[in-house]
């Protein structure tokens, strides 16, 4: 469905936009199954397959885990705080070995692909998405080219050597996620390759939206408030879309969920644009954006091209939900990284610590009430436990300047296959 116009059309397999065109808009999947019904016959993430646009299931998927907080809730004085965690913590049933909710994207996107697909998937990433897609594609032998900033290669750790179907192409030091996007777009000019699609891919959003489904399956209702750290904001959009589906189901209450998004100063493009009440993203000089991206701890939150302005994007979700944005410092992230481990018993990645900081600020300012039903989406963690099993780093197969002509980029990547 075209969010801007409401036009419903048949998916031809990998539509990222309305084929009839029109104003910039996300498209949203419309499912035959209107009731939220977790599948008892499927395992892992695919329990939620009825609300995922998939053609098959893949090996080794895991679903997010939701539980009622005790430690953090008591510390903040909240009586109905639930944490939805995507990462590694076997004690609570969380077994995402890459330690990131980006696995929910990878297992959904790759399962949307036809098993006989002959083209090579192209994924652009700031780090966590790269790790998730690399692992899922390796385990299921799906050819993929992953474009990532060389400065973020520390995120490319794995428990074992990846299958040769996974090729890693880095943009040089000093380049950021936006440059990785540019590189991938040039590569996809060749029909041998096709873009995963980012926020425009319904499979990516509906995979990420399983975090809210995990919450509702546990709690039995749509939350009053939802907190998440964002780079692109795609996960928050996905949660809102599933809240709309759940409200239409009729068993989980009305969708009055306020969406709160957190960013890491000084890279606060979404936060600054929203606070200015601008539908368009504020201007950001590329050099300034790269400098800001280098300065933040939660590097996955640095995105110079988020799906903010288009219909159904970040701006619309914040406005429709009555939500807001928060910005936190590196010091805030370090504080909550340590506090969360003490209070909940496991470690978070820097990005979800920004969400915890936002929640604490919202409580302090009275933005949320102490008895409201709150979902804190902790989008990654457990690295200490997962990496304790041993790990290796994936070195790039190529380092390419994104300013190179597309034919040179294509020729260089072709040689990898």
135-148 burial code (b ≥16 CB/10 A, e <16): bbbbbbebbbbbbb
Q: What is the pLDDT of residue 125?
A: 87
* In the predicted structure, residue 387 carries a pLDDT above the cut 90: no
Q: State the DSSP H helix or E strand holding residue 95, giving kind and residue range, or none if neither.
A: strand 94-95
Banded model confidence at residue 60, pLDDT cuts 50, 70, 90: very high
Indicate whether 278 and 362 sit together in one domain.
Answer: yes
User: Does any domain span residue 191?
Assistant: yes
Q: What is the pLDDT of residue 388?
A: 77
Q: What is the pLDDT of residue 385?
A: 83
Indicate whether 231 and 347 sit together in one domain.
Answer: yes
Indicate whether 312 and 372 sit together in one domain.
Answer: yes
Indicate whether 367 and 395 sit together in one domain.
Answer: no
By residue range, what is the domain housing residue 77? 65-96+205-386
What's the total number of domains in the chain?
2
Banded model confidence at residue 128, pLDDT cuts 50, 70, 90: confident
Banded model confidence at residue 176, pLDDT cuts 50, 70, 90: confident
Indicate whether 128 and 188 sit together in one domain.
Answer: yes
Indicate whether 108 and 168 sit together in one domain.
Answer: yes
Banded model confidence at residue 175, pLDDT cuts 50, 70, 90: confident
Average pLDDT over residues 166-179: 91
Q: What is the pLDDT of residue 391?
A: 86
Q: What is the pLDDT of residue 13?
A: 87
Banded model confidence at residue 306, pLDDT cuts 50, 70, 90: very high
pTM to 2 decimals?
0.94
User: Does any domain span residue 280?
Assistant: yes
Enumerate residues 6+ apart whose C-beta is below 8 A from 226: 212, 236, 239, 243, 257, 258, 259, 260, 323, 374, 375, 377
DSSP states of 131-187: HHHHHHHHHHT--EEEEEEGGGGGG-EESSPPPTTEEEEEEPTT--HHHHHHHHHHH
**CATH code, 254:** 3.40.50.1100
Indicate whether 183 and 194 sit together in one domain.
Answer: yes
Q: pLDDT, tens digit, for every residue of 216-229?
A: 999 999 999 999 99
d(CA 360, CA 393): 35
Q: pLDDT, tens digit, for every residue of 328-372?
A: 999 999 999 999 999 999 999 999 999 999 999 999 999 999 999
What is the percent of the chain with per-residue pLDDT over 70, rounded to a whole number? 100
User: Does any domain span residue 320?
Assistant: yes
Indicate whether 168 and 317 sit together in one domain.
Answer: no
Q: pLDDT, tens digit, for every residue of 85-120?
A: 999 999 999 999 999 999 999 999 999 999 999 999
Q: pLDDT, tens digit, for every residue of 367-384?
A: 999 999 999 999 999 988
User: Does any domain span residue 38?
Assistant: no
């Amino acid at each position: 469905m075209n969010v801007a116009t409401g036009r419903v059309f048949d998916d031809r397999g990998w539509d990222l936009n309305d084929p009839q065109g029109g104003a910039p808009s996300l498209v949203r999947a419309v499912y035959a199954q209107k009731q939220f019904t977790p599948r008892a016959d499927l395992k892992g993430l695919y329990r939620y397959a009825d609300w995922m646009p998939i053609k098959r299931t893949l090996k080794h998927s895991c679903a997010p885990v939701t539980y009622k907080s005790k430690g953090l809730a008591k510390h903040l004085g909240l009586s109905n705080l639930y944490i939805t965690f995507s990462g590694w913590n076997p004690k609570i049933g969380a077994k995402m070995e890459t330690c990131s909710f980006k696995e929910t994207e990878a297992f959904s996107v790759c399962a949307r692909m036809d098993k006989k697909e002959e083209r090579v998937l192209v994924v652009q990433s700031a780090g966590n998405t790269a790790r998730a897609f690399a692992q899922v594609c390796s385990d299921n032998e799906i050819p993929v080219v992953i474009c990532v900033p060389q400065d973020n290669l520390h995120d490319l750790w794995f428990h074992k050597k990846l299958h040769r179907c996974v090729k890693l192409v880095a943009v040089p030091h000093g380049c950021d996620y936006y440059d990785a996007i540019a590189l991938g777009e040039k590569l996809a000019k060749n029909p041998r390759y096709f873009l995963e699609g980012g926020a425009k891919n319904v499979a990516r959003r509906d995979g990420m939206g399983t975090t809210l489904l995990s919450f509702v399956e546990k709690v039995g209702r749509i939350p009053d408030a939802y907190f998440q750290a964002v780079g692109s904001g795609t996960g928050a959009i996905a949660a809102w879309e599933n809240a709309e589906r759940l409200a239409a189901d009729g068993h989980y209450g009305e969708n009055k969920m306020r969406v709160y998004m957190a960013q890491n100063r000084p890279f606060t493009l979404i936060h600054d644009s929203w606070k200015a009440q601008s539908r368009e993203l504020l201007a950001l000089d590329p050099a300034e954006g790269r400098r800001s991206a280098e300065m933040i701890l939660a590097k996955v939150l640095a995105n110079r091209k988020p799906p903010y302005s288009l219909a159904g994007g970040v701006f619309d979700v914040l406005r429709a939900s009555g939500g807001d944005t928060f910005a936190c410092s590196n010091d805030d992230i370090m504080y909550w990284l340590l506090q969360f481990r003490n209070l909940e018993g496991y470690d978070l990645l820097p990005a979800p610590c920004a969400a915890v900081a936002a929640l604490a600020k919202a409580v302090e300012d009275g933005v949320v009430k102490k008895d409201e039903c709150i979902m804190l989406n902790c989008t990654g963690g457990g690295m200490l436990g997962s990496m304790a099993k041993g790990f290796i780093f994936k070195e790039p197969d190529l380092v390419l300047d994104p300013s190179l002509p597309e034919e040179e980029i294509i020729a260089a990547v072709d040689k990898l296959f």
